[in-house]
Amino acid sequence: MRLFLQPTRGLRPFCMPRGTSNSITPRIYYSSAASNGHRAPPLAGITVVSLEQAIAAPFCTRQLADLGARVIKVERPGVGDFARQYDDRVNGMSSHFVWTNRSKESLALDLKNKEDHAVLMKLLEKADVLVQNLAPGASARLGLSHDALKEKHPSLIVCDISGYGQDGPYRDKKAYDLLIQSEAGMLSVTGTGKEPVKVAISIADIAAGMYAYTNILSALLQRGKDGQGCRIDISMLESMVEWMNFPMYYAFNGAPGPVPSGASHASIYPYGPFEASNGQVMLGIQNEREWVKFCSDVLQQPDLASDSRFSSNTLRTKNRGELKAIICDVFSRLTAAETIKRLEAASIANANLNDMQGVWKHAQLQARDRWVDIETPVGTVPALLPPGSTKSAKQGGYGAQMGSVPKVGEHNKAILTELGLVE
């Protein structure tokens, strides 16, 4: 069993200002999914209160929970986070919700109700981090802005996640993942050129969640130096535009941007799907050494490497139509398995075109023992260990916290008792 620390009040055991003392004795509890011998998780002793919904904030805080933080998810009474209703594909639960909400405690509060609002304010006395991605301006109206809280809670880290940021002309615009992909130029580089195609996962939400997560970790480190909290303002737009910097620089100084190229690469070729006699093969060429090897060992046309149409990546990209015809002519005489065998022998990068069932059964994930079981209100489901965590205590790892997915308000009684509000 893996050991975790969960403080019960006055949480300052981590990143405490120099010279302060901590009289709090953490409550020790154990994770039944854990293994012996791991170090305590890095964020054991940190409490995060999150007014969260949808994907961006929940994805951020779930990763903090993975590292051992106690995450208290504040939800609307009855219905909870609206992402609970996105679908019912996981034994009746939402696929999005199961993914982003394990290892959390659910506290159902109506923050427009005076008594419930008072519960939240009392809870913040115990918190290290407050995360929110409510509608623009909502947290400020509830007295939860950093400016409103910093005098009473100078060491509190407040992270605001929004579509466009907390100021500027777009501040009050509604922002969903598709809309941010569109504003950030993502739709101009995806698809096949016939119509815009969005990335099929919530990439703008994920980007914002990742930057919220890393900024919170940085703020905790900074607080360890000076004892001060801070405000973090995370914008989905800015997060997504950061990820778009390659195509932006590609279009530097008014140059044309990358053209939509399906599953191929806009500026590297050959790179993408190619048809064999019985299916597609994915491959990628990254440098001239690989190109020469590809021509000699895979296409078995060594003279092609020095063909004036294809002698550099820029020329191969410019003349991709002619080169694709040559490649597909060779591959059409081979099965997909035979093509991959040649690619492997030549050390040319290649991949299977998996569907979701193929990923569930992926041999590499199975061999590395990356799946564990977690509990949900509707039973046990598999969950992927977070990247970087380890099951092996011999490697000096901490082992991720892999707790259950909560019901709406499941932890109300326990938290209210802890706060001394009920007996």
Q: What is the pLDDT of residue 363?
A: 94
Beta carbons of 112 and 139 less than 8 angstroms apart: no
What would the DSSP string read from start to end of 216-273? HHHHHHHHHHH----EEEEEHHHHHHHHTHHHHHHTGGGPPPPPP-TTS-SSSSSEEE
- CATH 3.30.1540.10 at 271-354, yes or no: yes
Q: What is the pLDDT of residue 389?
A: 81
Confidence of residue 260 (pLDDT cuts 50, 70, 90): confident
Mean pLDDT of 77-91: 95
Beta carbons of 297 and 345 less than 8 angstroms apart: yes
Beta carbons of 157 and 222 less than 8 angstroms apart: no
Radius of gyration of the chain (CA): 25
Q: What is the pLDDT of residue 157?
A: 98
CATH placement of domain 2-243+367-418: 3.40.50.10540
pLDDT at 295 over 50: yes
Instruction: Find all residues with CB under 8 Å of 120, minimum gap 6, and list them.
Output: 49, 74, 109, 111, 144
Share of the chain above pLDDT 70, in %: 89
- The amino acid at 250: Y
Confidence of residue 31 (pLDDT cuts 50, 70, 90): very low
pLDDT at 68 over 90: yes
pLDDT at 407 over 80: yes
Mean pLDDT of 1-14: 33
Fold equal for 2-243+367-418 and 271-354: no
pLDDT at 279 over 60: yes
Q: What is the pLDDT of residue 395?
A: 66
Q: 235 pairs with which residues across the strands? A: 162
Q: What is the pLDDT of residue 388?
A: 86
Q: What is the pLDDT of residue 217?
A: 98
> For 178-220, what is each residue's pLDDT tens digit?
999 999 999 999 988 888 899 999 999 999 999 999 999 999 9
Q: How many CB atoms lie within 10 A of CB 81?
A: 23
The phi and psi torsions of 367 (rounded to 5 degrees) equal -65, -35
> For 313-350, what is each residue's pLDDT tens digit?
999 999 999 999 999 999 999 999 999 999 999 999 99
pLDDT at 148 over 60: yes
Share of the chain above pLDDT 90, in %: 78
> Where is pLDDT greater, at 17 or 286?
286
Q: What residue segments make up the domains of the chain, in order of their start?
A: 2-243+367-418, 271-354
Q: How many Å apart are CA 413 and CA 121, to the nearest integer? A: 17
Mean pLDDT of 380-392: 87
pLDDT at 147 over 50: yes
Range scoring the smallest mean pLDDT among 96-110, 121-135, 189-203: 189-203
